[in-house]
Amino acid sequence: MKPQILIVDDEDLFREDLASLLREEGYECRTAATGEEGLAIAHQGEPDLVLCDLSMPGLGGVEVVDDLAIEQPDLPVVLMTAYGSLDTAIEAFRKGAADYLLKPLQDEELLVKLTRCLEQRFMLRELRFLRRRLSHVDEGTRLVGSSPQMERVKELIRRVATAQTTVLVTGETGTGKEVVARSIHEQGAGPEAPFVAVNCAALPRELVESELFGHRKGAFSGALRDKPGMFELAHGGTLFLDEIGDLPLELQPKLLRALERGEIMPVGATRPIVTHFRLIAATHRDLPKEAEAGRFREDLFYRIRVMEITLPPLRERRSDIPALVDHLLPRINSRLKKRVLGVNDQALRALMSGDWPGNVRELENALERAVLLTDETIVGRGVLPGQPTDLKDTHQHAMDLRSAVQAYEEEHIRRVLESTGGNREEAAEILGIDPSTLYRRLQRFDTD
């Protein structure tokens, strides 16, 4: 698609000659004879760039810049004038003009400045698009569970969220380290700020530096244009480096410099870029042992471990499994186009007696398999995976199971009641029990 240029100038011959020149160079042009007409065209369909005369009857160039700076702040405006002075240039830039040209225009200077302004414009669009993609937060990423272990995690998140301190999240694979990082980000920087998540273990070793720090055009074979890195995309928000223990040793000093000075050096660049971001790192590795073995810098370890949050494995918080089941099923239903409403008591007991070495991720996979296999609206024990290594129908957790099932019942009833706005009759109908039974159970919950 050709770049769209809007030319605003009260001199008819100059305006049309300029439009003809730019069309020959591959641009699409619209023209306006007054500032008012130019603003109307710009507001109807946003061009990629505006070339505007500084002095015109009615609204002049500075007024046009002033208006567009409010209505379309990302639209670059290049002012043109036959009466150049330092004061008018300063005023134009102060108002937000992208650049300044003297009449009669020099074709080469004009085209160079247009190219530069448009490249900046398109790069800004790309940055915003990538930030939106990288910042997308799934509804299913909130922290779930009210066990003492998870309440401690939530409290640490609340304490650290509004500070800009670096956080290290540790725990076994599948415990939800990215969920913690997103929770810190949302409670701190907010959902509108960029959240950039990078799995260091998944990046090809030869591309790690370019992906993280960006590169300049011509820095290496195949670098056909400037590319922003993850640090630059995270500016003003949060950078989440998952599996930081897999970051190549030779790049760790660059990360340390970025944290200590707020500067990054793209591949092929001659000057550093200033960027402000909050780092949250995560790993399942024992970083002190990695540092002792010379595979991880000790100074970087202490720099990222200002605050450490350790996630408990699922087997240590079995009472959260009922809530996790309720939380995960809607996501699974959406993926599989199914309508499974829950699991029966036998299936719940089986789920709660599992060791789950893969933690929440393994639990979700087991539920997905069960939903896929069942033809009922309630999952039974028969469709759950039953290998001895994952689910064990034993009684070793019987006492904990009884209290956990009661907690699940209470939590489910209160959620249904909340969804009805406190209407007990409607809640009882949804639950399939008498209103008097619901009343008695609520009384029991309040006195337990």
> Rounded to the nearest 10 degrees, what angle do helices 398-419 and 424-431 cross at?
130
CATH architecture of 139-312: 3-Layer(aba) Sandwich (3.40)
Q: Is pLDDT at 217 greater than 50 in this prediction?
A: yes
pLDDT band at 126 (very low <50, low <70, confident <90, very high): low
**Chain segment 161-190, per-residue pLDDT in tens:** 988 899 999 999 999 999 999 999 989 888
Q: Is pLDDT at 401 greater than 60 in this prediction?
A: no
Cβ-based neighbour number of residue 108 at 10 Å? 8
**Chain segment 269-324, per-residue pLDDT in tens:** 888 888 889 999 999 999 999 999 999 999 999 999 999 999 999 999 998 999 99
Burial of 230 (0-12, 13-18, 19+ CB in 10 A): buried
Stretch 22-37: mean pLDDT: 94
DSSP strand pairing (77-81 vs 49-53): parallel
Structure tokens at 339: 């309508």
Q: Which residue has the higher pLDDT, 26 or 418?
A: 26
The length of the chain in residues reads 448
Q: Which residue has the higher pLDDT, 219 or 238?
A: 238
pLDDT band at 125 (very low <50, low <70, confident <90, very high): low
Name the CATH topology of 316-447: Helicase, Ruva Protein; domain 3 (1.10.8)
DSSP state of 293: T
Q: Is pLDDT at 390 greater than 50 in this prediction?
A: no
Cα Rg of the chain, angstroms: 30
The residues spanned by each domain of the chain are 4-132, 139-312, 316-447
| C-alpha angle 111-114-117 in degrees, rounded to nearest 5 | 150
Residue 114 contacts residue 219 (beta carbons within 8 Å):
no
Q: Is pLDDT at 238 greater than 80 in this prediction?
A: yes
pLDDT band at 82 (very low <50, low <70, confident <90, very high): confident
pLDDT band at 408 (very low <50, low <70, confident <90, very high): low
| pTM exceeding 0.75 | no
Q: Which of 9, 6, 4 is nearest to 54 (CA)?
A: 9
> Rounded to the nearest 10 degrees, what angle do helices 148-161 and 177-188 cross at?
40
Q: Where are the alpha helices (DSSP H) in 239-356?
A: 252-261, 287-292, 298-304, 321-336, 345-352
For residue 197, the SS3 value is: strand
pLDDT band at 392 (very low <50, low <70, confident <90, very high): very low
Name the CATH topology of 4-132: Rossmann fold (3.40.50)
Stretch 145-153: mean pLDDT: 90
Q: Which of 11, 113, 89 is nearest to 56 (CA)?
A: 11
Residue 64 contacts residue 32 (beta carbons within 8 Å):
no
Cβ-based neighbour number of residue 126 at 10 Å? 14
427/417 Cα distance (integer angstroms): 5
Q: What phi and psi, each to the nearest 5 degrees, are found at residue 397? A: -115, 30
Out of 129-138, 143-152, 293-302, 390-399, the most confident range is 293-302
Fold matches, 139-312 and 316-447:
no
**Lowest-confidence region among 86-90, 118-122, 152-156, 341-345:** 86-90
395/1 Cα distance (integer angstroms): 67
Q: Please give the pLDDT value at position 138.
A: 47
User: Whole-number mean pLDDT of the chain?
Assistant: 85
Q: Is pLDDT at 86 greater than 70 in this prediction?
A: no
Q: Is pLDDT at 236 greater than 50 in this prediction?
A: yes
pLDDT band at 407 (very low <50, low <70, confident <90, very high): low
**Lowest-confidence region among 94-103, 143-152, 250-259, 323-332:** 94-103
Q: Please give the pLDDT value at position 393.
A: 38
**Chain segment 322-354, per-residue pLDDT in tens:** 999 998 999 899 999 998 888 888 888 889 888
Q: Please give the pLDDT value at position 84.
A: 60
